[in-house]
Amino acid sequence: MDLQHPLTSAEVARHLEARIIGNADRLVTGINEINRVREGDLVYVDHPKWYDKALASAATTILIDKEVEAPVGKALIVTDDPCRDYNRLVREHAAPDRWDLVPEVGEGSQLHPSVSVGSNVRIGRGCRILPGVVIYPNTVIGDRVIIHANTVIGGDPFYYKKRPAGYEKMAPGGNVVIEDDVEIGALCTIDRGVSADTRIGRGTKIDNHVQVGHDTLIGADCLIAAHVGISGAVVIEDGVTLWGQVGVPSKLRIGKGAVVLGQSGLIDSVEGGRTYFGSPAGEWKQKMREQALLARLPELVRKLDGRG
């Protein structure tokens, strides 16, 4: 999430009534959570598990709940509740969502009258947006995109901070970008990024009833069949095929040209150019051999017991 008017780290610290360590003149040009940080970004960290990752990340201003030495050139803003203050900053700097504005629509695009479109949406040329589609604010849609009935683009990320009193919703500041020549089936849901974009690459085709989580990056010319569930912050490289009912946990990477067969469940990142099957998924030939051996297990047990 870019700031329309960048601030110095000192200005942010004063606003939050927090202490600053390190380069107080460091310019904050954006706000991002840990999965998608860039130089100039402010990020928050409030758990020892992630201190090192945040301090070593590209982020140059870090909201943190522990006083440590600031890395060279960076600023630390010390606060008792970094997540609370991060949410506060996002809400203060994100443009308010509106649903009463006319979207920017390219030549030759057709939107059914029942389509709902939020503010700051851009739709390219030659698109077809079919009945009941909902396009949340800040979505960017390229040329020749087809979106089938009742799909929702840009809903809020499923991202919460666990508190003693319950779950606190993370303030969303990201969006969805759909590149040229993408087709998305009916009843799909593509969540916007927490603070950056969820992106569907050029030429990718998505079947019906597919869920794509926040901040996921899907490459070009991928094929995703019905009932696939993709969690947040996943990276799917170009030319990947996911067959029906595949499950992909958060923060995994699927390499270029990989194929994951139907009803498979990944538990770790996988290399490109190979075919995977099973739950937990492995290379399909090995998993088929395992299945064949499992079918023989009763016979093998009887032989070991001397009954075969």
Question: pLDDT at position 139, please?
Answer: 97
- The verdict on 208 and 154 lying in the same domain is yes
Residue 266 binned pLDDT confidence (cut-offs 50, 70, 90): very high
Mean pLDDT for the stretch of residues 53-70: 94
Q: Is residue 305 pLDDT above 90, yes or no?
A: no
- The verdict on 15 and 37 lying in the same domain is yes
Look-up: residue for tokens 């610290």? 13
Residue 307 binned pLDDT confidence (cut-offs 50, 70, 90): low
Task: Tell me if 294 is assigned to some domain.
Answer: no
* Percentage, residues of the chain above pLDDT 90: 85
More confident residue, 36 or 155: 155
Question: pLDDT at position 308, please?
Answer: 53
- The verdict on 148 and 187 lying in the same domain is yes
Question: pLDDT at position 182, please?
Answer: 98
CA–CA gap between residue 308 and residue 297 (Å, rounded) = 12
Could you tell me the residue range of the domain that residue 71 belongs to? 2-93
CA–CA gap between residue 169 and residue 155 (Å, rounded) = 13
Mean pLDDT for the stretch of residues 181-188: 98
Q: For all residues of the chain together, what is the average pLDDT?
A: 94
Q: For residue 124, give the CATH number of its domain.
A: 2.160.10.10
* Count of beta carbons in the 10 Å neighbourhood of residue 84: 16
Question: pLDDT at position 293, please?
Answer: 80
Q: For residue 82, give the CATH number of its domain.
A: 3.40.1390.10
Task: Tell me if 299 is assigned to some domain.
Answer: no
- The verdict on 177 and 211 lying in the same domain is yes
Chain centre distance of CA 215: 2
* Count of beta carbons in the 10 Å neighbourhood of residue 132: 16
Q: Is residue 306 pLDDT above 90, yes or no?
A: no
pLDDT digits (tens, 9 = 90+) for 72-103: 999 999 999 999 999 999 999 998 899 988 89
Handedness of CA 292, 295, 297, 302 (dihedral sign): negative
Q: Is residue 179 pLDDT above 80, yes or no?
A: yes
Two tokens at 226? Answer: 């019905």
Domain total for the chain? 2
CA–CA gap between residue 242 and residue 253 (Å, rounded) = 13
Q: Which of 93, 124, 159 is the last residue of a domain?
A: 93
Mean pLDDT for the stretch of residues 100-129: 96
Q: Which residues are known catalytic residues?
A: 214
- The verdict on 64 and 111 lying in the same domain is no
CA–CA gap between residue 32 and residue 154 (Å, rounded) = 17
- The verdict on 51 and 131 lying in the same domain is no
- The verdict on 88 and 108 lying in the same domain is no
Question: pLDDT at position 215, please?
Answer: 96
Q: Which of 215, 242, 273 is the last residue of a domain?
A: 215
- The verdict on 108 and 210 lying in the same domain is yes
Q: Which of 175, 191, 215 is the last residue of a domain?
A: 215
pLDDT digits (tens, 9 = 90+) for 200-218: 999 999 999 999 999 999 9
